[in-house]
């Protein structure tokens, strides 16, 4: 069940990205700025959080949800979608494995405080790997390599990660306050 939820939440965040965030970005930024990368990519938060909570087994729903959203909603071809999804998923595993050498708080433990700051650092490291590897993929397939694209990927992933974290923190506090209010009614 958590894998289906991961898939569905990723799809929902992708749809929010496509139908709300991207049109707002088009008002403020030129197409040149938004070419290949968003300045606020909300689905990155789901990739990091799901791996943090579910561990290695989350890579299947992460990979499948990315391929699905690229093909179904962006009408991208399956080969490029699968390739970019593989790069993104590999970057998550690589980022978590490298970070775990330096910090043991890379996996969720029930009844423990979630380390939001560590998740943002982890999301940033994963974004750097994803941005660099995706840019190499684009340069191989189109002879197009630009440092500004790497920076746009990184900025978009990190801002999306931070906004996603605020959304989840807000939802958790809202749920806690409702639970507390329900339990202490006279």
Q: What is the pLDDT of residues 48-101, one digit of tens each?
A: 888 888 888 899 999 999 999 989 887 778 888 898 899 999 999 998 888 888
Query: Is the CB of residue 121 less than 8 Å from the CB of residue 52?
Result: no
pTM score, two decimals?
A: 0.82
Query: Is the CB of residue 129 less than 8 Å from the CB of residue 12?
Result: no
- From the CB of residue 123, how many other CB atoms can be counted at a distance below 10 Å? 26
Query: Is the CB of residue 13 less than 8 Å from the CB of residue 164?
Result: yes
- 115-172 tens-digit pLDDT: 778 888 888 999 999 888 888 877 776 655 667 778 888 888 899 999 988 888 888 7
What is the C-alpha separation between 156 and 78, in angstroms, rounded? 24
């Amino acid at each position: 069940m958590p894998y289906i939820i991961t898939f569905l939440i990723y799809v929902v965040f992708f749809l929010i990205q496509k139908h709300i965030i991207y049109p707002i970005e088009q008002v403020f930024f030129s197409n040149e700025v938004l070419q290949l990368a968003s300045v606020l990519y909300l689905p990155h938060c789901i990739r990091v959080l799901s791996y943090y909570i579910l561990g290695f087994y989350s890579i299947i729903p992460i990979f499948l949800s990315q391929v699905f959203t690229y093909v179904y909603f962006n009408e991208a071809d399956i080969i490029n979608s699968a390739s970019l999804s593989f790069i993104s998923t590999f970057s998550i595993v690589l980022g978590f494995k490298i970070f775990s050498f330096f910090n043991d708080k890379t996996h969720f433990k029930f009844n423990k405080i979630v380390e939001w700051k560590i998740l943002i650092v982890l999301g940033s490291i994963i974004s750097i790997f994803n941005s660099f590897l995706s840019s190499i993929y684009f340069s191989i397939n189109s002879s197009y390599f630009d440092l500004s694209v790497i920076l746009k990927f990184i900025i978009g992933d990190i801002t999306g990660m931070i906004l996603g974290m605020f959304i989840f923190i807000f939802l958790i506090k809202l749920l806690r306050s409702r639970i507390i209010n329900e339990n202490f009614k006279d």
